[in-house]
Structure 1
Amino acid sequence: MQGPRRTDPSSYQAATKLLWVLVVVTYASRHAQGQAARACDSSGRSVACTCNSDIERVVCSRSGDLKAVPSGIPTDTVYLDLNGNKLTSLPRMAFQQLSKLRAIVLSRNEISDIQLGAFDGLDGSLTELQLQENKLTNLKVGTFENLPLVNQLHLKNNMLADLSVGVFRGLVSLRSLFLNGNRITTLPVGIFSDLPSLHIVFLPRNGIESLDNILPALPTYVSVIDLQGNKISRLDRDAFARFENLTTLSLNENGLGNLESGVFNGLVALSRLYLDDNKITSLPQGLFLGLEKLSLLSVENNQLVELSGNSFGDHPSFNVISFENNNISRIEAGLFSRFPTLGSINLASNNLTSLPAGTFDSLAELDFLELEKNRLETLHPNLFLDLRNAWSIKLGHNNIKTLPTGLFRATTKLHVLYINNNAISSLPQDIFSPLSQLISLGLENNQITVIDDGTFNLTNLESIQLNGNPLTNISCKMFPTTNMSLYAIDVDCTCEWIPVYDCPEFDFLGSRVTCAKPRKLWYDKLNEISKDVLTCGAPRMACFGLAGWVALAGVVMLVSAFISV
């Protein structure tokens, strides 16, 4: 008797592929004829969407071809994602029978029209509506009238220009309004009068040139105003005096010149002020006077040349201050000491050549100090004496030639120290010994030749960068061999490392020493390469010697004479 016939497995695969092709063709055909695609089938998946009933989430952004809201969305859906499709309009009752929706994502479509009543039926659930990156040029009065629970409305990167009073009517719970990247240069007074909960207003990159037609429309109770990336070149005295609840103000990237005293009058609650990427050359006397709640001040990427104490008032909550990338060459003595609560100071990328003793006195709470990319040559031995809680100090990319003995004697809680890209030729004995909590030490690209044994005997040290230094006389005891935390020592792998192969602890050291140079050994571990491949670098020009220069000159003269013949 003949047994049951076996079917070739490949025929199953072919049939499955054929069935899927038919599904896709059917979907494309119906979609081309204007029929709404179906979101979910019994498997919870379709060509258009993925439906997760466990978290009541439907995502329809896989195909990117939807031109209408799909049918068949489960009625218990809470999160609907239609991002990145080709919807051009939203008709009335576009989301009918989806009364449990809390969030709708319609970003990155081509929506240019929203019919009145498009969101009807969502009044008892919807809290977030995302319409960013579409083609909206206007919004009808009443568009959002029946959305009393929405607290976030995203309209950024559209083409909105003129907004009418009443357009946001009904959004009584709206807290955050995102209008970034539109063409809004004026706002009519009363446009936000229907929004009693509005606290955060984003208006970056709208081409706003004057605040005279913007600020009067904003409610006095807003707490965040973001105006970065506009064309505001002038601020009047008392410009923000109405906003006594304002906590955050961003004026970055506007082309602002010097500000007059009194421009921030009345901002008694302001805690964060951003003035980055403008054209400010000086801070006038009393500019920040009255900002007693100020905790963060950022004036990066401007043209300041000095910092004076008379620009400031009493700021008992000052925590973060950043003047990175200016032209600062002078800091008034005692300026920072007036603010003992400072936790972070950023003075990177300026023109500082020296820092007098006392510059950082009384800053026991300071965690982060950035002094990279200046022109510092010397450091006072007591410069960091009061920084007993400092976590990170960065001194890279200066012209520091020596580190005074005892420079880090008080910074016992330091975890990160970068002194890379300087002109340091030697390290004082025990310079790092107080740093028992140090994790990362950057010394790369200096001129260090000899390092005393035990210099890096720090129990918590994890990484040391020494590449770009002409190290010589490397000994077995230069690095700790019992510190199991140490995992990376970056160096230039030259013939100077050959003696290390005979160290009793080579297995430990060799597995942690990583070659940064030469290129052919880049990222190799020392224990992975033969000592025979380690070569001595070419002599430095500084060591070429008089005889060498005379010989070189002779060769040049001979070559020149040969060419002339």
Structure 2
Amino acid sequence: MEWFIDVRVWMIIVIFVSLSQKSEESCEMFAKTTTIFRMERVLYRYVACTNMTVDNDLRDEIISKLNDSHQYLEVTKSNIPIITKNMFQTLNLTQITVEAKVQVVQGKAFERANISNIIMDNNDIKKLESGAFNSYNIFVLSLRNNSLTEISTSTFSGLANLRKLTLQNNQISVIQPGSFNDLEGLNELNLGFNKLTVLQPNLFDKLQNMQTIYLNNNLLKQLPVDVFSKNGILQYLSIQNNLLIQLDATVFPQALLYVNAAENNLKSFNMSGLINLDRIVLDSNKLTTIVNCLNNLPSLSFLHLNHNYLEISVPTKYFEHLSKLSILEIDNNHLVRVDFSIFRYLMKLEGLSLAENNLTSLDVTDINTSIKHLNLSGNSLVGIKNLWRLSNLDKLELGYNSLQEITFDMFANISLLRHLWLQHNSIRELHLGCFRDLKSLTHLNLSYNSITNITPGILTGLNSLIELDISHNNLVIFDEDSFHNTRSLRFLNIAHNNLSNVDIRGILSHTIWLREINLNGNNWTCKMLIDIEQGSKIISFVGGNSFNVSNVYGVPCIHKPSENENGTGKELEFQLTNILEVLNSTMQYTRSIHFTMSVLNYIMAIFFCLVGLKYVYDKYSSTIAAAQQFVYRPAANEQEIQLL
């Protein structure tokens, strides 16, 4: 592979100086480990097997281990309260990461070091002495999650080539004028999550290459008129979660693309004239009107106005100049009525969200047909007129409303719709053929309604349906033939209804791809659940948690013994008793046979022994008689010879 060609480029060796206490044996084992990192890098770990304190010469310890191939150094899990000016002198690295409970960085600590990226996050730094990072070689400096309270004019002196400065999540309340004057090459500045209450008017004047500024999560009440006047190429600005009460376009440069001013106390704003502005986020403020606030914004694509107090009452052609607006969100604004004719001229509008308002009825006749995602959930809608005009709809959210029925023509002509949410309404009736034109629908949610039956014809047209959720209704009738054209169905949820019988085999005959079904919370008998489970091995049943009652796989069920089981119990017991008696008699008979056979075996053994002896005697008796004549027999009067 190509990354093997130049070892000097692709093999980046990282030294970890770990100061945690370890046993000598485990430390040495850990020190020998080598790990492959992201395939193109070799990660080498060095572990110092002795405890190091601030009195140790950390520089000598590190220098003795580094060589020209090392580019990354991490000093972690230690306690080094002061970074001295001699500690990292002459080091030549791409990046150094120090997470060692540092409290002070002395002046000129990195002046003679050739290090591109300095990461000192998650320490306890309270003081940065004058010129602590005075070096032309530093491009990235991160001091996130420390305890800094003030930035002085000399804190960042000498950082002419710095591109990114992160001071997020400190306690900074004061930034002296001219603190950033030496940072002429800075592109990104992060001052988020601090305690800034005011910005000096000329604070950012020297940052003429600045493109991104984060001022979010501070205590700012206003922005000085000239605060960004010299930042001509500023494109991204986050002022979220402050205490701003007013916002005016005159503060911002024309190059601005993105503004996030959510979670402030804005009562008025005017972003008119920012011709390059692409996105505005104004969620969670106290806005009541948008009249004369959005003029001449030809590049605006995203407008977020959620969680305000807007009353949409504007001239019909008010949005005409927002020719590129594609996403408009006005959720949770207590809207009671919306005249959709105001959206008529939004020719590129693809997403419109009016969720969590107080709308009771809508007529979408005048809305542009280009819209693909319409969110009307969380209102009080009882009806919607002329939805058929939105022929390009892909997602339609109507959950948490007051719809009582789905009429025959409600979703007519919306053939491209793929996701439809109707949960948490008051739907009692689904008219036959109400989904007939939804040929592309893949996900349908009808949960938490009052539907009582699903009969053939209701699901007609749902040829592409993959997931159907009709849980938490009042279903009593669930005809398997209703699924005759839902062959793509894979997930079916009919939990928490009043069902007591369902023909799973019949459903499977129509839905050949069905793989998961949720049957919890119905009126099943245990026998029915067992029959369903045994009759459809290819389906995964969603188990329940009701193990303290009669259940099948945790799904509660009713155990009903059959009449045959109740009427023939005693007879069955009597038959079992007879069977046991027969078995006992058989065993006794078997034992007697076994004893008889044992006696016969002994008799036969004795008989064959006698026969064998008789055979031997008959065969060898003449030989024995002939041999007897050679046996010496002394005479009666023969004297015994005594040997002396």
Q: Equivalent residue for 1:222?
A: 234
The alignment-based identity, stated in percent, is 22
Q: Higher helix fraction: Structure 1 or Structure 2?
A: 2
Matched, 1:324 2:324: no
How many angstroms does 1:340 deviate by? 4.5
Separation in 2 of the partners of 1:188 and 1:58? 37
Q: Distance in 1 between matches of 2:397 and 2:507?
A: 27
- Give the conservation status (yes or no) of the 8 Å contact 1:354–1:377: no
Equivalent position amino acid for 2:320 in 1: G
Aligned partners of 2:401, 2:315: CA distance in 1, in Å? 21
Q: Which residue of 1 aligns with 2:499?
A: 471
Measured in 2, the distance between the counterparts of 1:178 and 1:326 equals 32
Unaligned runs of 5+ in 2: 1-21, 30-46, 374-393, 561-644
Partner of 1:250: 260
Q: Which residue of 1 aligns with 2:281?
A: 274
1:488 aligns with 2:516: yes
Is the 1:327–1:350 contact (alpha carbons within 8 Å) kept by the matching residues of 2?
A: yes
Structure 2 residue corresponding to 1:449, chosen from 476, 496, 501: 476
Letter in 1 for 2:130: L
Q: Which residue of the partner structure matches residue 144 of structure 1? A: 156
1:142 touches 1:169 (CA, 8 Å); kept in 2? no
The equivalent of 1:108 in structure 2 is 122
In structure 2, distance between residues paired with 1:319 and 1:521: 54
- Match of residue 322, structure 2, among 303, 312, 315: 315
Aligned to 1:207: 219
SS of the residue 2:444 aligns to? strand
TM-score (normalised: structure 2): 0.66
Superposed, 1:364-513 pairs within 5 Å as 365-366=372-373, 367-378=394-405, 382-385=409-412, 387-427=414-454, 429-456=456-483, 458-477=486-505, 479-480=507-508, 486-496=514-524, 498-499=527-528, 501-502=530-531, 506-508=535-537, 511-513=539-541
CA contact (8 A) 2:88 2:113 kept: no
Unmatched runs of 5 consecutive residues or more in structure 1: 1-12, 45-50, 538-565
Query: C-alpha distance in 1, partners of 2:324/2:204?
Result: 32
Q: Secondary structure at the match of 1:499?
A: helix
- Cα deviation code 1:10-52 (max 9, x no counterpart): xxx98726989xx989525x33x475487769899xxxxxx9x
Cα deviation, residue 87, structure 1: 0.8
Q: Determine the structure 2 residue equivalent to 1:290.
A: 296
- The separation in 1 between residues aligned to 2:343 and 2:304, in whole angstroms, is 15
| Alpha-carbon separation, structure 1, partners of 2:218 and 2:309 | 25
- Cα 1:65/1:15, change in 2 over 3 Å: closer
AA partner of residue 443 (structure 1): I
Indicate which of 86, 94, 97 corresponds to 1:81.
Answer: 97
Pick the structure with more strand per residue.
Answer: 2
Determine the C-alpha separation between the residues in 2 that align with 1:404 and 1:335.
Answer: 32
Structure scoring higher RCO (CA < 8 A, sep ≥ 6) equals: 1
Give the 3-state SS of the residue equivalent to 2:205 in structure 1.
coil
Is the Cα–Cα contact under 8 Å of residues 337 and 363 in structure 1 kept in the other structure?
A: no
Taking a change above 3 Å as real, the CA distance of residues 146 and 349 of structure 1, as seen in their structure-2 partners, is same
Counterpart AA for 1:535 = I
1:252 deviates by: 1.0
Q: 439-448 or 371-380, which moves further after superposition?
A: 371-380
How far off its partner does 1:493 sit?
A: 4.9
Pairwise CA RMSD? 4.1
Structure-2 separation of matches of 1:403 and 1:218: 62
The superposition leaves residues 319-343 of structure 1 with CA deviations (integer Å, 9 ceiling, x where unpaired) of 2222333323322134445435333
**Partner SS for 1:60:** strand
Choose which of 92, 101, 106 in structure 1 pairs with 2:107.
92
- Report the CA distance between 1:116 and its aligned residue: 3.1
Q: Deviations over 1:119-167 (max 9, x none)?
A: 234x34x432211222222223243344344332211222223323432
